[in-house]
């Protein structure tokens, strides 16, 4: 059993609470200033019983949240996206405080299996230069960041695996795309939990790899697995560390 503090009690927080309890874990505190009856502040007192925190909040507050969790000496699973330009700052916070932190743009185990498939595909298409590559993602209208953390990770995988590509473009293009660029496009609307596609296209055919989430349960399940993985550990971890632990 892991004693978990939930930071953020929106749709994801509620699903994580239910799934964590189903797996026999304890939710010892819920912190959300907009939730009646929840804790309002992240500090040593509110986190005193927690072993691992899980944060699904907002890009505008996540760095401050990590600092407060670190000051309390607690480990944290970071599911909040949109902060990756501060990665070096977060690594330093983790190192200086001696806590454990695991992050991902997407904690869905299926999505991370999808990442492995994309890595293998990129290796194949690296040697097939008559194919171009592109990606797109669709999310619900309330998503706070664009592109999604998952789409950013897909772009990174493709650039790393295909030598003729060295730049990901996420903004709207009103020009011809350059040969070295990969366009990762985002669409927002409706209630779509998350759909990500990668296309390898030639004059002869198109090969499409696609992952479609049916709901938030996959993200929640992976987040709880991440809390189990992180409990008792120190250091900075990514989703690959969790996947290696699962697949071994």
Looking at residue 64, which CATH number applies to its domain?
A: 3.40.50.720
Question: Do 86 and 123 belong together in one domain?
Answer: no
Question: Do 40 and 83 belong together in one domain?
Answer: yes
CA 42/CA 191 separation, integer angstroms: 30
Q: At 25, is the secondary structure helix, strand, or coil?
A: coil
Listed in sequence order, the residues at least 6 apart from 94 whose beta carbon sits closer than 8 Å to its beta carbon are: 70, 100, 101, 235, 236
Both structure tokens of 192: 């779509």
Pairing outcome for strands 132-139 and 195-201: antiparallel
Q: Which residues are catalytic?
A: 139, 143
Q: Is pTM beyond 0.85 here?
A: no
CA distances from 187 to 168, 196, 212 (A): 17, 11, 14
Predicted confidence pLDDT, tens digits, the chain (248 residues): 999 999 999 999 999 999 999 999 999 999 999 999 899 999 999 999 999 999 999 999 999 999 999 999 999 999 998 899 999 999 999 999 999 999 998 899 999 999 999 999 999 999 999 999 999 999 999 998 899 988 998 999 999 999 999 999 999 999 999 999 999 999 999 999 999 999 999 999 999 999 999 988 999 999 999 999 999 999 999 999 999 998 76
Question: Do 48 and 166 belong together in one domain?
Answer: no
For the chain, report the end-to-end CA distance as a whole number of angstroms: 22
Question: Do 102 and 221 belong together in one domain?
Answer: yes
Total count of domains within the chain: 2
Question: Do 151 and 187 belong together in one domain?
Answer: yes
CA 12/CA 15 separation, integer angstroms: 5
Question: Do 25 and 99 belong together in one domain?
Answer: yes
* Rounded (5°) CA angle 44-50-54: 100
| Residue among 248, 152, 140 at smallest CA distance from 188 | 140
Which helix (H) or strand (E) is 228 found in, with range? helix 217-230
Neighbours of 240 (CB within 10 A): 12
Question: Do 13 and 95 belong together in one domain?
Answer: yes
Look up the CATH number of the domain holding residue 200: 3.30.360.10
In our burial notation (b when 16+ CB lie closer than 10 A, e otherwise), range 21-39 reads: eeeebebbbbbbeebeebb
Question: Do 128 and 77 belong together in one domain?
Answer: no
Question: Do 119 and 201 belong together in one domain?
Answer: yes
199 has which bridge partners? 134, 208
Question: Do 31 and 10 belong together in one domain?
Answer: yes
Query: Which residues form the domain of 194?
Result: 109-212
Question: Do 96 and 114 belong together in one domain?
Answer: no
Question: Do 43 and 58 belong together in one domain?
Answer: yes
Enumerate helices (H) and strands (E) in the chain, giving the number of each.
7, 11
Q: What is the dihedral of CA 209, 248, 194, 198, to 10 degrees?
A: -20
């Amino acid at each position: 059993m892991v004693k978990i503090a939930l930071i953020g009690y929106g749709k994801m927080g509620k699903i994580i609470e239910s799934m964590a309890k189903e797996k026999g874990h304890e939710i010892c505190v819920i912190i959300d200033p907009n939730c009646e009856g929840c804790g309002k502040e992240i500090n040593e007192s509110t986190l005193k019983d927690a072993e691992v925190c899980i944060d699904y909040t907002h890009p505008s507050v996540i760095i401050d949240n990590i600092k407060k969790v670190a000051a309390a000496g607690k480990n944290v699973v970071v599911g909040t996206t949109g902060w990756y330009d501060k990665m070096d700052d977060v690594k330093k916070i983790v190192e200086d405080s001696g806590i454990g932190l695991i992050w991902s743009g997407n904690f869905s185990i299926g999505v991370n299996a999808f990442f492995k498939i994309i890595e293998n595909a990129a290796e194949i298409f690296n040697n097939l230069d008559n194919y171009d590559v592109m990606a797109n993602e669709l999310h619900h209208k309330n998503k706070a960041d664009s592109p999604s953390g998952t789409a950013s990770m897909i772009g990174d995988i493709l650039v790393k695996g295909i030598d003729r590509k060295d730049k990901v473009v996420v903004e709207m293009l009103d020009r011809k795309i350059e040969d070295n660029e990969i366009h990762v496009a985002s669409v927002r609307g409706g209630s779509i939990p998350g759909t990500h596609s990668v296309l390898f296209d030639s004059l002869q055919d198109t090969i499409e790899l696609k992952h479609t989430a049916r709901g938030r349960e996959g993200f929640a399940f992976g987040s709880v697995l991440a809390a189990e993985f992180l409990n008792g550990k120190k250091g900075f971890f990514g989703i690959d560390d969790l996947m290696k632990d699962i697949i071994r």
